[in-house]
Structure formats: structure tokens, C-alpha cells
Amino acid sequence: MIQAKAELQLALARAVAQLAPDHPLTPAFESPKQAAHGDLAVTVAMQLAKPLKANPRALAESLVAALQAQPEVQRWVDSLEIAGPGFINLRLSPAAKQAVVREVRTAADQFGRQPANGAKLMVEFVSANPTGPLHVGHGRQGALGDSICHLFETQGWDVTREFYYNDAGVQIATLATSTQCRLRGLKPGDTGWPEAAYNGDYIADIAADFLAKKTVKADDREFTASGDPEDLDGIRQFAVAYLRHEQDLDLQAFGVHFDNYFLESSLYTSGRVTDTIGRLEKSGKTFEEGGALWLRTTDYGDDKDRVMRKSDGTYTYFLPDVAYHLNKWERGFSKVINVQGTDHHGTIARVRGGVQAAGMGVPVGYPDYVLHKMVTVMKGGQEVKISKRSGSYVTLRDLIDWTSRDAVRFFLISRKADTEFVFDVDLALKQNDENPVFYVQYAHARICSVLAQARTQGHDTARLGDADLSLLVAPTELSLMLKLADYPGMLTGAARELAPHDVAFYLRDLASAFHSYYAAERFLVDDAGLALARLALLDATRQVLRNALSLLGVGAPESMSRETSSATESE
């Protein structure tokens, strides 16, 4: 069906060119809002009506006539119907839909993937300062960022995952003094315990290991403790390495890896901050006021101009942000996506303005942002707010320990990033259709069970490639094949819109189409040809389920049990 859609797209373009040869419109098929309206829809007639000063329904009639003359339409389309003011609905032939089974099985794990395009993308996400355990918000960033990376990889991009953090700021200094207080025998609530100190149990763990002169190793650093409570710089370096190691363990448990770690401090030590100041001053977009150096970010859509260097000579956070993104551009990343919390909304215009003002030819709108809202965690019908380990918030490790990596990854990606999300721990533990990740994974496991039974009963599953797919004409079969064919287009759209939740939505729809098929038809029937065809369709469905789940970092189990079984695998 992928081939059929591609051929029909060319046929549509030729037909539109006959009606409006000088119009720049690039026509495209759409999915009807209701399945009863057909398999593909065309709205070109209504789009052309105004520029051509013609009646849209009359244009639709002319377009239908032009389409019917195209050999691709004659081959792949059963009917063309005009509806409403000028909609054209196409019903594909069974052969068009059946073709997707062979296309999926031939491409296997490459189904839906585009060839390499030579372009480089960086996705920066999580980017947590090493001052404590990763919280649920970092988990949502991890799920979003990693899934976006996988999506763009399917579209042929060369993707780099980057983790950015500050190893020398005020928060790090607080981490060091908090650990030093623990080393001196103080704890939260004691006289002399700093009001701004970190109170989680992890501070005591760091202090104990520092006192024991342990060596800690993270992905990007290693440090051995001196054991001296007065060695504040050593405490700082050890604490940073310790928490980076802890973050690495959390991310490994979450199935997320990074290609590069970038330190904010390196922007200063390498001279990039100073170079950026020079570039911006040279652009003529800076001015001095009140002893501070400002940048006219209002020239680039910001609501007010921004201070870069304060009157005391120190820099604001804005300046290293600009220097960092210029560095990304210099490293050859033509597209950059930052996954951050919605509290960073105010930084978008100023960072983009600063990058533009540097005069380096960076395109307008660079970088892209995906901003996410925080997550509320419910357990036992009550909101969970505090983790003993962190001292103030639910950690990512808590969620994984309470449920599973698969549940956390799927749940955190299952809503649009900019919407509030309630993570229901009890729901994530259910082994029935109420749990969306179980519902999808169970579809995969069910198929694996049927295929295993088929082999046990003597069906030659090695011959699935020889199946007569023309036998697949049941309504639930046609519906399932149509959904399989939506997969490549869904991937392209999800990447374009930075919408990895579309993958989760698609998975639920595909699982629903399969479960409906499972309820309506028997697979291991006496008719050997029909059984082989149906097994081929199941195998294609299994493959697409596995492909899509892998994009979300979620497993595709081959066997599962459920709390309340509604059917048995006794086809």
C-alpha cells in the first residue's frame, strides 16, 4: 500500500496540474475524519476554488474525471465520491491494502524509515545539574527527548543526544556546603544547618562515601575522595562525580544514553563567552545602561531587552545560553531541539534573538523547543509529593521501582508535552485493558502466541512470504491493513511536529484494530491458504508493533498474563 499511495500521489499531482497548471499548490491526500467516508480524502477543489474563481463542487467533478483517467487510480482505487461542498473521498481496492503486508515483512525493522539525508540534528534533554536525584520532570524530558531522537533517526537524520549541565554554579556550591555539614556531624533541623542546604538522604550517602575515601566514576568524570572534611573543593568535585554517577544509573535504568556531555564551565574556560560578547558588540545590537551591557533582543521579537553583563562585571545566564547555541551551530548541527520544562518559556525569544544578533547565518527560529509541563504522581488514590531519598520530590527511580521502565516510558510519552499529566501508579500496575501500555504490549504477545501455536500445529510459518494475500478481505482485516499503512506517514508527521505522543496514539489505535480482528476471526482455520494469509498479516502487525514500541524505548514481550482474560489463544 505504500507503493500504491506513492503512485496515487503522483496521479493526483498530474490531475491537479491539468486543472490549474500555473498554481503552486502541492496537493496531498488526507485521512477522512470518519472511516465510513473512505480511505483517503482530497480537499484540493476547495483550496483551488477561490484562486480559480470557480465553484468547488464543479472543480471536484472535473478533478474526479481527471483522476479516473490516471492508470494508477484505475489500478488502486475502487471508487471516487464527491461529498459536501467539494470533498473527494477515495476507497482503495483490497489489493492496495493487502500489499502492505508484504511491504512490512520485506522491510522488517526498517519499515517506515527513510534513507540518510546527510543532515545533523542535536537534541539536548534532561540537562540536570548534579545536585540531587533525577525527578519525575527529568523522566518526562528523558522520554520525550529520546523518542524525538528515535523519530528523527527514522527520517534519515544523523542524531546526537547531548546532556548539558553546570558543574560550578551557586547550586553546586550549596551541594558542597551541604555535604560538608553532614561530614561535620550536622543534619537537617540541627542548629547550624544552612537554611538553603539540600536535605535529602543522598547528602548523607555522599558524605559517608567521601569520608571512606571512595572513588566514583561517571560517564564524563572520575574522582577519588580525600576524606578531609575541610577539603571543600574536593568535596565539591566528589559530590558532582557522585551525583553524575547516580544520574547515569537512573538513565541506564530508564534506557536512555547520551553521546556527549557539555559543561557550562567550558564556555568560560574555552573563551567562548568572551568571543560571543565580541560578536554581539560587533553586530551593533548592544548598548550600555546603568553600568551594564545589554542586547537589543526586542529587535528579534523579545518583550524587552536583556542584560548580558551586569554592572558588577558578572554575566547573566542569558549570555552562556547564547554562546552554547552558537557552539552547536559551529559543530554543524543544522537543526537543534531543546527539551525543557515550561518554566523556560521566557528564554526562547532571548536566546533566538542572541543567536540571530551574532551574525553567523543561523536560520530564524533556531533552536526549536519542546516545553513540557510537570507530572503529578498518584498512588493509592493520593498524590505523592515527597521522596525520602530526595527530601522534596518523587524521583525517576521511585517511579521505575514502583512500576516498570516500560510503563514509565510509555506513560510519560502518552500525552502532548505541553499538557498536564497525572501518572497513576496503580493504573500502571494493572494487567488488563485499562492500562494502555499493557493493552499495546498484550497485542504483541497475543500475536506471538498465535504464531507459536501455528508452528506447533504444523503450519509452515517459514512460507509466510508465499501467502495469497488476496484472501484477506474480511472488514477487520482491511481495517488492520489500512492502519499498518499509516505507520510511515505517522512517523514523518510526528517528527515534523515534534510530537512523539503521536506514536503512542498510533500504537493504541493499531492494538485496537488487532484486538478487534482477534475477536472477529479465527486464524488457524482448516483452509491452509487462508490460515497462511492471516498468519502473514499477524506477523506484519507484530513487526509494526515492535518497531513503534522500540521508538518509545518500550519492550515488546512475547508472552504476558492478564488479570481478567476475555479470550483464549485457542484458534
Q: What are the DSSP calls for 191-207, one per residue?
A: TT--TTS--SHHHHHHH
Residue type at position 508: R
Q: What is the pLDDT of residue 390?
A: 65
User: Which of these CATH numbers, 3.40.980.10, 1.10.1760.20, 2.130.10.10, 3.30.1360.70, describes 2-92?
Assistant: 3.30.1360.70
Q: Say how far apart CA 491 and CA 513 lie, in whole Å.
A: 18
Can you name the residues that pair with 217 across neighbouring β-strands? Answer: 222
Tracing cell 551591557 back to the chain, one arrives at: 293
pTM of the model: 0.91
Tracing cell 500489499 back to the chain, one arrives at: 99
User: Is 328 buried (19+), middle (13-18) or exposed (0-12) by CB count in 10 A?
Assistant: buried
Tracing cell 574556560 back to the chain, one arrives at: 269
For residues 23 and 51, the answer to whether their CB atoms sit within 8 Å is yes
For residues 207 and 179, the answer to whether their CB atoms sit within 8 Å is yes
Q: How far is CA 496 from CA 220, 317, 334, 432, in A?
A: 32, 30, 15, 33
Q: What is the pLDDT of residue 73?
A: 93
Tracing cell 560517564 back to the chain, one arrives at: 219
Q: What is the pLDDT of residue 564?
A: 53
Question: Closest Cα to residue 330, out of 257, 370, 279, 295?
Answer: 279
Q: Say how far apart CA 554 and CA 442 lie, in whole Å.
A: 13
Q: Which residues of 372-390 are buried (b: 16+ CB within 10 A; e: fewer)?
A: bbebebebeeeebeebebb
Q: What is the pLDDT of residue 51?
A: 86
Question: Closest Cα to residue 152, out of 335, 425, 376, 359?
Answer: 335
For residues 319 and 286, the answer to whether their CB atoms sit within 8 Å is no
CATH class of domain segment(s) 436-551? mainly alpha
Tracing cell 534533554 back to the chain, one arrives at: 125
Torsion angle (degrees, nearest 10) of CA 243, 247, 252, 256: -150
> What's the grid cell of residue 27?
496537493
436-551 shares the fold of 2-92: no
Q: What is the pLDDT of residue 566?
A: 42
Q: Say how far apart CA 488 and CA 103 lie, in whole Å.
A: 11
Q: Say how far apart CA 426 and CA 260 lie, in whole Å.
A: 36
Q: Which residues, at least 6 apart from 6, have a Cβ–Cβ distance to it below 8 Å? A: none
Q: Say how far apart CA 92 and CA 128 lie, in whole Å.
A: 50
Under-70 pLDDT residues of the chain? 387-391, 564-571
> What's the grid cell of residue 299?
529587535
Give the chain's length.
Answer: 571
Alpha helices in 430-527 (DSSP H): 436-456, 475-485, 487-496, 501-520
Torsion angle (degrees, nearest 10) of CA 477, 483, 485, 488: -160
Helix 44-52 and helix 56-68: axis angle, to 10°? 120
Q: What is the pLDDT of residue 567?
A: 39
In tens, the pLDDT along 52-93 reads: 888 999 999 999 999 999 999 999 999 999 998 899 999 999
Q: Say how far apart CA 417 and CA 370 lie, in whole Å.
A: 7
The structural domains of the chain, with segments of one domain joined by +, span 2-92, 170-241, 436-551
Q: How far is CA 242 from CA 193, 260, 387, in A?
A: 22, 18, 19
Q: What is the pLDDT of residue 50?
A: 87
Report strand pairing: 421-424 vs 375-379.
parallel
Q: What is the pLDDT of residue 565?
A: 42
